[in-house]
Structure 1
């Protein structure tokens, strides 16, 4: 074979022993990849994790990376051995063994470097530039081709030689860090989640039966992700996208002005479990959990002590008790199965519920998220049935159950089922995941395209309603619906206006905050509608009230029992907030906050002091700022909000002293 042909120079490579392959892989992932993975969200970690917590996460990450590297090294050695036994030249077998380890490691490092650089570019330019799924897929295959081609040529590729030398020089450091990590994890092992807890594994005091049966046989809390009341239109008598839920609401109480406490899943669902507003529970960022004093007791702990078997089924990791730190209150808590490839490592890493690993270590396999976009095509990776079916089986097997069930659609991608696809937007526009924008800022010229996204979103709402109707019918057939307290709501809505598609970020408009809230009492047959503003913070106190459980230690909500039993509900202010950029270790000087009092709504940007006032009765779309025209109303609501912020900041200092 002529000099320079593929694999010809493989004899220049070091012999690929298990130790060498492992050391080089560890160098790439531990010393090169891990810092960039951490850097991607360093502000969040510093703002919401103590040094000890972050150190524990890093140690566990290093040990898991070591396991991945060992697996790669074993595969590389095994491949080389098989090739030699098959008569392949030793040099060729050596190159194949090295390629097995180096290609995925270098690919992950370069991908992470590119992603971190792209995030820095967006931050430094102040724009929301993003690559389309096609662009991400093209970048993925370009990396594969380039790295594969370089390593195919052996040491002739300058990048391959530089990479080998770099990893060789870093190997001692990587192995030393691994040794420290192993000692750290052995000295203080991470808590490993048990998917289910039986009575035999719970403390003796928890296994004793309550002195009396619970006052309500079953309590079902059903949350449908990203369900805006302005689109669903559940309450009232006009057109609706959710006829099944409206039919259910005719024998329940429908709250037409129910507000989420935040604009994305983590803070709002922690409020559901604690009754505390985000500025008190502090689970306000994707890597943040509820403050430890609010993790136990949570709603599930209280209900279990009252005699209920507590179960949770969630299609969204951010809505899972594993993420909130409240998982110990559940006898059985699961994350729904999914066809999403990218979700698999994240779900696996939730088995370490005290860590933040699902939100950064899973970027070891970043290409899986891109592959999902193409492999699923027009099919949602989290259909509601994958949550409802196991939940129904668990409910049937238990008496006196508290079940929290969280489904994902209509959350993006807006891929409605075949039964509702095309009902509002005929044709193939936006019918595939790869065609959709995802959450992003948009210009006025894109409003027509965003409106098409809204139609697919509304079709997804229709599909979610069909699935909910089937689930409620199955509960009825099982004899578990009529005598149950049933609450159906959502964590937040979705924006298709104001230059933003999606949720999270700083947006606190009503299309993101106002959600359906339907509550059916045991045996209720008469429907009611309540137009007084209420909060998701009211859900937990209402459940403990009807469930005969002790109150939660820190609740900002109130029981809605008077309204549910037909009495007037006194009006009081409702609060919502976006605090992703506010550190729990610093004074409350950042974030955006809203107070809704009657028909008036004030939104305050804490960092700049800018405020906006809207009269929702006259301007439901929040397009006219009245703060200058109505200074007395602005001043009154500003003072009300500032007083609450001062109290919240004092509570923060007690929870997180520095």
Structure 2
């Protein structure tokens, strides 16, 4: 075949194969996404991924052709008989042998030879080349007699001709996808906005309100903080800093992972009300959730900052972008990725499209094998802290006549991978164990673990605790710089987390079906102006209480749609009626339309008692946290009255939530 003809044949085959792979993936993805997304929401992402996937196929076809055809060009004169078709036949033969080896013969070259795969394959290639060189005359005769090149050429051309109608159809779809995507309004990329004070109400009453800074550490459990009695010195600065603040000993997250819990934090609503229990930023980007704390503060004269390292906690993903006057994209709040392929993929701003590509089984295997390892986090918190300090320095922060600000600062550490700086790594022991991203990822591939893995899990917990210590040190620097820049005497600082992290009960990490204390017991510290003595509040409170508390501290009425209750009476030394506290994991429920909640895990706290209920299994656990803080003794059968009361309380609340869903459905149909 001529160069042009061979290239077009290879291009056509690659294009069709990649398109068929895409269709297979598309059906698989839609089977999952249809659980919480309409097809009209899915279509723009489907179109974009098809374009990217097709371009990847074209590029790989070009690289493959140039590599194979290039070999025939640079071939030494004695081997000029080897044609493009011969190399294709050889590659197909090697591919077939490799398939048979992996499918039916489970052995490793590395175990047999003691060499790594790269060295082994290099030796095989060199040996094959030498054999061809020394026996090229015999090989030339054999190839000529068998007419392999003619046969391969006929096969390739035949395949290309037969798939031409399919290739034409996919090419037409590609053109439609390009046109469709071009006309779609791109709202997935958030641009940092400048503060436009002229657009904000400037009544004098607004200027007297306090500045409010809410610092959220991702995946921080109170169980591993020395401030809360943990045996390792993980939070020395926080322990000292909180002495003249209000510390809540029993604060609980509304869910065990970021998206639902952050939504609860910023709305004062539980997940069964805001219904954000799936990761949905990729289609919420065109939707708004108007009932939120930042919007209320904005309407009352606050300048709203949002600096968030976790993209699924970003205002855009939560449907709250309109409330934030300053919000930088999450991908601008990290260090540059250290591998060209990661940097290339990061240019895909669409969350669903990027995840689709990264999680493809072939691409993920390449990333896993060849990505350089990471030794320290690329999400240092001081990027967020310093960016915020720079932003507020632009508005003359010590000017008492300016408007107040509310800052939502969400830093990713101590979320895994647990990669502190070299100063903290290994300070708790086992310095060389699980000290890189790749080493840790192996354990996180199977979050459910057997007892034999507990030793490794315990070492991972050491890395996690070191990451907390690292975060504590950077928070200390931030508070020091903040004190020099703004008027602390008129500033409220709220320190908390979105959820926790677990290293016990046979589960590693977060999310999943469980709601044990490690997963949902979070820190909550409120530092108010003029507070000198501090206080420790030992009654259960929940994440949804934070938003109404902030409003009351700012002297703004709390709307009735917030389910949480203000903690202001407690911060002011008063008492508050004891209220039950709820947490829930509802990801197994569809989040599309108005379907009732029929699956999931729920937890309810009342006093010292905690009930965990697995709805699908109709299984309940009851613990007395005072006598059994590690939740190892299920007393559900031993305390039937308490169990019945808490279960009834949960059933009643869930029934009300489902009733509200039905009513919303009926209203939407009118």
State the TM bucket, normalised to the shorter chain.
0.7 to 0.9
Structural mapping, 1:74-473, within 5 Å:
170-185=166-181, 188-198=184-194, 206-210=199-203, 212-235=205-228, 240-287=233-280, 295-333=289-327, 334-335=329-330, 336-340=333-337, 344=343, 348-349=347-348, 351-352=349-350, 356-363=352-359, 365-366=363-364, 369-370=367-368, 374-376=372-374, 378-398=375-395, 399=397, 400-436=404-440, 437-438=443-444, 440-473=447-480
Q: 2: CA distance between counterparts of 1:140 and 1:64?
A: 31
- Aligned-partner SS, 1:603: strand
2:613 paired residue among 593, 604, 612: 604
Greater CA drift, 550-559 or 463-472: 550-559
Q: Is the 8 A contact 2:36 2:591 kept in 1?
A: yes
Alignment pair present for 1:14 and 2:5: yes
Q: 2: CA distance between counterparts of 1:242 and 1:408?
A: 17
Q: 1: CA distance between counterparts of 2:586 and 2:237?
A: 35
1:559 paired residue among 562, 566, 572: 566
- Cα deviation per residue 1:482-504 (whole Å; 9 max; x = unaligned)? 42111111111111111111111
Q: Is the 8 A contact 2:260 2:276 kept in 1?
A: yes
- Cα deviation per residue 1:562-613 (whole Å; 9 max; x = unaligned)? 1112212322111111112111243311111111111111111111211111
In the alignment, which residue of structure 1 is the partner of 2:24?
35
Relative to structure 1, is the Cα distance of residues 264 and 87 closer, same or farther in structure 2, using a 3 angstrom cutoff? Answer: same
Please state how far the C-alpha of 1:57 moved relative to its aligned partner. Answer: 2.6
Greater CA drift, 361-370 or 541-550: 361-370
- Cα deviation per residue 1:537-563 (whole Å; 9 max; x = unaligned)? 111222233335564573221221111
Q: Is the 8 A contact 1:235 1:254 kept in 2?
A: no
Q: 1: CA distance between counterparts of 2:512 and 2:564?
A: 24
In the alignment, which residue of structure 2 is the partner of 1:507?
514
Q: Is the 8 A contact 1:410 1:460 kept in 2?
A: yes
Structural mapping, 1:493-504, within 5 Å:
493-504=500-511
Q: 2: CA distance between counterparts of 1:59 and 1:619?
A: 53
Asked which structure has the greater CA Rg, the reply is 2
Q: 1: CA distance between counterparts of 2:335 and 2:309?
A: 8
Greater CA drift, 316-325 or 167-176: 167-176
Q: 2: CA distance between counterparts of 1:513 and 1:428?
A: 30
Q: Is the 8 A contact 2:430 2:459 kept in 1?
A: no
Q: Which runs of 5+ in 1 are unaligned?
A: 1-9, 118-137
Q: 1: CA distance between counterparts of 2:212 and 2:571?
A: 15
Alignment pair present for 1:62 and 2:50: yes
Q: 2: CA distance between counterparts of 1:323 and 1:163?
A: 45
Alignment pair present for 1:615 and 2:624: yes
- Aligned-partner SS, 1:221: strand
- Cα deviation per residue 1:327-381 (whole Å; 9 max; x = unaligned)? 23222223112344587567544x45xx7434324446535752687431x2223
User: Could you state the TM-score of these two structures normalised by the residue count of structure 2?
Assistant: 0.78
Q: 2: CA distance between counterparts of 1:332 and 1:372?
A: 37
Alignment pair present for 1:45 and 2:59: no
Relative to structure 1, is the Cα distance of residues 435 and 356 closer, same or farther in structure 2, using a 3 angstrom cutoff? Answer: closer
Relative to structure 1, is the Cα distance of residues 406 and 516 closer, same or farther in structure 2, using a 3 angstrom cutoff? Answer: same
Q: Is the 8 A contact 1:270 1:290 kept in 2?
A: no
Q: Which runs of 5+ in 2 are unaligned?
A: 104-114, 130-147, 398-403
- Aligned-partner SS, 1:14: helix
Q: 2: CA distance between counterparts of 1:291 and 1:636?
A: 41
Please state how far the C-alpha of 1:221 moved relative to its aligned partner. Answer: 1.0
Please state how far the C-alpha of 1:275 moved relative to its aligned partner. Answer: 1.4
Please state how far the C-alpha of 1:518 moved relative to its aligned partner. Answer: 0.6
- Aligned-partner SS, 2:604: strand
Relative to structure 1, is the Cα distance of residues 451 and 165 closer, same or farther in structure 2, using a 3 angstrom cutoff? Answer: farther
- Aligned-partner SS, 2:304: strand
Q: Is the 8 A contact 1:263 1:513 kept in 2?
A: yes
Please state how far the C-alpha of 1:194 moved relative to its aligned partner. Answer: 3.6
- Cα deviation per residue 1:2-50 (whole Å; 9 max; x = unaligned)? xxxxxxxx74773536xx88766654444313532662x5454112102
Q: Is the 8 A contact 1:38 1:360 kept in 2?
A: no
Q: 2: CA distance between counterparts of 1:382 and 1:532?
A: 34
User: Could you state the TM-score of these two structures normalised by the residue count of structure 1?
Assistant: 0.79
- Cα deviation per residue 1:54-79 (whole Å; 9 max; x = unaligned)? 22332333344456567778989999
Q: 2: CA distance between counterparts of 1:478 and 1:157?
A: 74
In the alignment, which residue of structure 1 is the partner of 2:112?
none
Q: 1: CA distance between counterparts of 2:549 and 2:158?
A: 63
